[in-house]
Every structure is written in structure tokens, then in C-alpha cells.
């Protein structure tokens, strides 16, 4: 687990297990870094042709700003993700250094999952949009430009099936425990009634 993945654990419940984090295709991550990288190289070019002390200080200050810009763009790409856990899909959005947002979609509230691959680039690089529709509300949550959207859809459906099956087993076990408690309580009451009848006869 890398340093950035640790940031996702703030969005999980105490007993929740993270299976996979779904990001946009790496092509979009690279696209976010192209302009800052070009700016960084350009600043080095200026320093090469103007190697004066005041210019060196200015370029260092500019480069620090560019590196912060680059880091911000990377985090904007990386921390906008879907977290697939054992109980839900969590839609995480990173809007800046001091603004994060997450929406939890429990498997029990998912009505359907779909994917769409559109355009030449999406077909060539294999990225598309995955959408989740919630039961009753009809609201749709989507993440665009994800790598292998069909695999993402299959993963969500498999996790949903596993979660519901586990929940049904727990519910069945809980029902059995309740029935066992009721039966034992009634048997105890019958025994008490029998003892009271014996006392009355004597």
C-alpha cells in the first residue's frame, strides 16, 4: 500500500475492507502533467541562457510553484476514484487541498451497473464510462474514462452478489438464533407449568 492509497482509508468504516481503487485511465493522468512539465523544462532553458544569480533565485521560486502545480494535478487525477469495498462502492472526489467529498453507495441500494465505451480514443486505449443506478431514487453515479470498464462492471456486480449472499447468510443465522431462543423459552415455560401442576396435586 503506497502513501496515496492511505488517504482512501479515511473514507472506510472500521470493519470495511478495500478491494480495489478505480481511477481514470493513465492517459488522462499524463495529460494533466504535460503542461506543468513543459513549464518546468522551459524554466530550465531560461536558466541555461541567463545563468545570473537573480535569475537563478527567480527560477527556483518559479520551479517550486510549478512542482506544487504538478502535485496538485496528480492528486486531482489520482484521488478522484471509486473505492470498491466488501460492503459498498464509495465515490471519492478531490476538489483541492482542503476540499474532499465522498458518496457511499451500498450494494443493497444498487439497481444496476452499466458501462459505455465511446469514441476512437476510448476504443483504442480501452477506456470508458461506468455508471451505477440506485434503487428507488433513480439517481446515477458515473466515473468517466476508466480503464477496462467492462472489468470494473463485473467486479462491482461480483462484490454486490458476494455481499448480499453474506448478508442473507447472517440474516438466516440470526433468524435461527431467534427461533432457538423462542423454542427454549417455551420449553422452559412448559417445564415450569408442569412443576406447578405437580405442586398443586401434592
The reported pLDDT for the residue numbered 78 is: 82
Q: Is the pTM of this model over 0.75?
A: no
Residues of the chain whose pLDDT is less than 70? 1-6, 9, 96, 136, 168-202
Q: Which residues of 152-168 are buried (b: 16+ CB within 10 A; e: fewer)?
A: bbebbeebbeebeeeee
User: What is the C-alpha to C-alpha distance for residues 127 and 152, in angstroms, rounded to an integer?
Assistant: 11
The reported pLDDT for the residue numbered 172 is: 58
CB neighbours of residue 142 within 10 Å: 15
**Eight-class DSSP state of 109:** G
The reported pLDDT for the residue numbered 115 is: 85
User: What is the C-alpha to C-alpha distance for residues 35 and 25, in angstroms, rounded to an integer?
Assistant: 18
**Eight-class DSSP state of 139:** -
Burial class of residue 70 in the structure, from the number of CB atoms within 10 Å of its CB (0-12 exposed, 13-18 middle, 19+ buried)? middle
Specify whether the CB–CB gap between 81 and 23 falls below 8 A.
yes
Locate the DSSP E strands across the chain: 18-22, 81-85, 88-96, 99-106, 110-116, 127-134, 140-147
The reported pLDDT for the residue numbered 60 is: 86
Q: First vs last Cα of the chain: how many Å apart?
A: 75
Amino acid at each position: 500500500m503506497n502513501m496515496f492509497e492511505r488517504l482512501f482509508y479515511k473514507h472506510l468504516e472500521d470493519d470495511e475492507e478495500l478491494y480495489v481503487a478505480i481511477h481514470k485511465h493513465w492517459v488522462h493522468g499524463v495529460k494533466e502533467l504535460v503542461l506543468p512539465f513543459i513549464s518546468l523544462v522551459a524554466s530550465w532553458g531560461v536558466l541555461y541562457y541567463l545563468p545570473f544569480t537573480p535569475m537563478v533565485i527567480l527560477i527556483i521560486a518559479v520551479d517550486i510553484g510549478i512542482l506544487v502545480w504538478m502535485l496538485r494535478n496528480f492528486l486531482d487525477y489520482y484521488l478522484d476514484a471509486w473505492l470498491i469495498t466488501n460492503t459498498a462502492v464509495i465515490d471519492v472526489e478531490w476538489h483541492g487541498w482542503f476540499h474532499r467529498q465522498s458518496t457511499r453507495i451500498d450494494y443493497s441500494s444498487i439497481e444496476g451497473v452499466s458501462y459505455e465505451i465511446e469514441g476512437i480514443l476510448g476504443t483504442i486505449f480501452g477506456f470508458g464510462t461506468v455508471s451505477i443506478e440506485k434503487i428507488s431514487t433513480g439517481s446515477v453515479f458515473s466515473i468517466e474514462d476508466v480503464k477496462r470498464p467492462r472489468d470494473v462492471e463485473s467486479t462491482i456486480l461480483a462484490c454486490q452478489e458476494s455481499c448480499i449472499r453474506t448478508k442473507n447468510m447472517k440474516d438466516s443465522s440470526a433468524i435461527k438464533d431467534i427461533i432457538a431462543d423462542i423454542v427454549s423459552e417455551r420449553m422452559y415455560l412448559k417445564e415450569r407449568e408442569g412443576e406447578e401442576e405437580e405442586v398443586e396435586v401434592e
